[in-house]
Amino acid sequence: MEELYDAEKIRAIGISNFLPRHLEPLLQTARVTPLVNQLRLCPGDIQPAAVAACRTAGILPQAYSPLGTGKIFSVPAMQALSEKYGKTIAQICIRWSLQLGFNPLPKSVTPSRIEENAQVFDFTLDDADVALIEGLTGCVGMAKNPDETNY
């Protein structure tokens, strides 16, 4: 990948599911620091050690499944926040992700939802609501251990 980067065939290198124990040896030999590390970062599952390692290395934590694979839509606390802010649950999750410094990657094939997902820059979540969303452990599942998962 570094050869492709040096040859200007690619503009960035990214990694996925790298935890600190994976990141440390990579950074010892890498000439080009990865731009992003795609991690499962969603309400209740923010992988603090991995995020901290990324930030220390200057790597952007990129959130795949920022909506918790859809399970978040049935969480009563999220429904209440949706009403409080006058935004959809998806917009609340995306805004939360941005406020934590993640780059969220919500998945949708529906044009109206794609457009709706971009409407997240006209409000800010209160600190208490950010903490509430972070504390929703167990409601959307947790990231799998990449050492024990077949991708």
Quick: pLDDT tens for 123-141.
999 999 999 999 898 776 6
User: What digits encode the pLDDT tens for the residues 22-44?
Assistant: 999 999 999 999 999 999 999 98
Evaluated on CA atoms 33, 18, 23, 47, the torsion sign reads: positive
Topology, domain 2-139: TIM Barrel (3.20.20)
User: What digits encode the pLDDT tens for the residues 48-70?
Assistant: 999 999 999 999 999 998 988 77
Scored b (16 or more CB within 10 A) or e, 46-72 reads bbeebbebbeebebbbbbbbbbbeeeb
Instruction: State the DSSP H helix or E strand holding residue 62, giving kind and residue range, or none if neither.
Output: strand 60-64
Domains of the chain, residue spans: 2-139
Total-model pTM: 0.88
